[in-house]
Amino acid sequence: MVHADFQPITKFIVAAMLMLCCLPAFSNPVQDHGRLQVKGNQIVGKHGGPVSLAGMSLFWSQWMPQFYNRDTVAWLKKDWQITVVRAAVAVEPDGYLKNPEVEFEKACQVVDAAVAEGLYVIVDWHDHKAEEHTAQSVEFFDRLSKKYANVDNIIYEIYNEPLKVSWAEVIKPYSIKVINAIRKNDPDNLIVAGTPTWSQDVDVAAADPIEDINLAYTLHFYAGTHKADLRAKAQKALNAGIALFVTEWGTVEASGDGAVDRESVAEWVQFMQKNNLSHCNWSIADKVEGAAVLKPGASPKGGWADKDLTESGMFVRELIRSWGRRE
């Protein structure tokens, strides 16, 4: 029996414990993990252990600019329990090449929102022909890394999805130039390098890696199209000793459309969990396509109810929330 004088205190303690149990696993992932570092084939935190982030990618910045704001990022943290968000800074058409200041500011809005929320943030050079825009990419990342060099949150993704071009002759030389521009200003933060064939040939990059103190490589998949063969490539790359980051993946076909392939997603989730891979789902958009998580007309400031979410949106939201509880 509890003495009457202690009953209010006991009730307060019990209530506080219940509240803590209901909180997301990481209320401030950057505070918990610090600056991310590559150690062998793993991305680790300040504690030295592997970090597996789960989050969302925004859509092409020139086509869905309404979601590049603090409210969207805050809602994704609060309701979806994301630990990372990705800004897909469009290069062309009508992107950075045409409107550099506009697109740079969109990136900064997302970074600033992520910093305020204690989230990791990927700034992605969303290009399929970045080697043709090397000067602009160097300019962009030089400016970005000067601005955010002392911010643990930021991750630089220097090439979204190269096409079927040579790693050794095209992608690697481009990457080295951009990495050097970043490292002049920011010697420590994580950089993610794109790989050939829409960031799928990670085994090719693993056979000829770039020398850098903190570099991972991009792996992209769409569950409706990419299956065991791509996972075998990814495992080969991991076995060769490079770290991978799934900066973009979809529940549907590589076209961005189709139904959610739940069986394939489950296989990919098992693979990512086994290898402690971080990932961002594509995408925060209200476009009429299978990969979009929002229905047309959804609020640009978050606050989405179930009725605002697509099949993929409902599915991915629960996946990310469970990922946080897993951590």
280 in helix, strand or coil? strand
- Identify whether the C-beta of residue 304 lies closer than 8 Å to the C-beta of residue 295: no
Is 10 domain-assigned?
A: no
Q: What is the reported pLDDT for 57?
A: 99
Q: What is the reported pLDDT for 129?
A: 98
Rounded (5°) CA angle 322-324-327: 110
Please state the separation of Cα 167 from the chain's center in Å: 23
Task: Give residues with Cβ within 8 angstroms of 11, minimum separation 6.
Answer: none
Q: Is 248 a catalytic residue?
A: yes
Q: Is 169 a catalytic residue?
A: no
CATH number at residue 97: 3.20.20.80
Q: What is the reported pLDDT for 25?
A: 45
Is 45 domain-assigned?
A: yes
- Identify whether the C-beta of residue 191 lies closer than 8 Å to the C-beta of residue 214: yes
Instruction: Show pLDDT as tens, one digit a residue, over the chain (327 residues).
Output: 334 443 444 333 334 433 333 444 448 999 999 999 999 999 999 999 999 999 999 999 999 999 999 999 999 999 999 999 999 999 999 999 999 999 999 999 999 999 999 999 999 999 999 999 999 999 999 999 999 999 999 999 999 999 999 999 999 999 999 999 999 999 999 999 999 999 999 999 999 999 999 999 999 999 999 999 999 999 999 999 999 999 999 999 999 999 999 999 999 999 999 999 999 999 999 999 999 999 999 999 999 999 999 999 999 999 999 996 654
Is 159 domain-assigned?
A: yes
Is 21 domain-assigned?
A: no
Is 17 domain-assigned?
A: no
- Identify whether the C-beta of residue 67 lies closer than 8 Å to the C-beta of residue 293: no
- Given 248, 267, 311, 327, which residue is catalytic? 248
Task: Give the Cα separation of 198 and 320 in Å (integer).
Answer: 24
- When divided into structural domains, the chain yields a total of 1
Q: What is the reported pLDDT for 8?
A: 41
- Given 103, 117, 131, 161, which residue is catalytic? 161
Q: What is the reported pLDDT for 10?
A: 38
Q: How many CA atoms lie within 13 A of 25 on its CB side?
A: 17
Name the pairing type of β-strands 215-222 and 84-90. Answer: unpaired
- Identify whether the C-beta of residue 240 lies closer than 8 Å to the C-beta of residue 16: no
Name the pairing type of β-strands 54-58 and 84-90. Answer: parallel
Q: What is the reported pLDDT for 193?
A: 99
For residue 193, what are the β-bridge partners?
A: 217
Backbone angles phi, psi at 208, to 5 degrees: -145, 65
Q: What is the reported pLDDT for 27?
A: 81
Is 14 domain-assigned?
A: no
* pTM (predicted TM-score): 0.92
The domain containing residue 85 runs over which residues? 28-326
Rounded (5°) CA angle 175-181-185: 135
**Token pair of 40, please?**
């062998």
6 in helix, strand or coil? helix
Task: Give residues with Cβ within 8 angstroms of 304, minimum separation 6.
Answer: 75, 79, 294, 298, 313
Residue 120: which of 94, 80, 82 has the closest Cα?
82
Amino acid residing at 112 = D
Is 207 domain-assigned?
A: yes
**101-120-124-282 Cα dihedral, nearest 10 degrees:** -120
Is 19 domain-assigned?
A: no
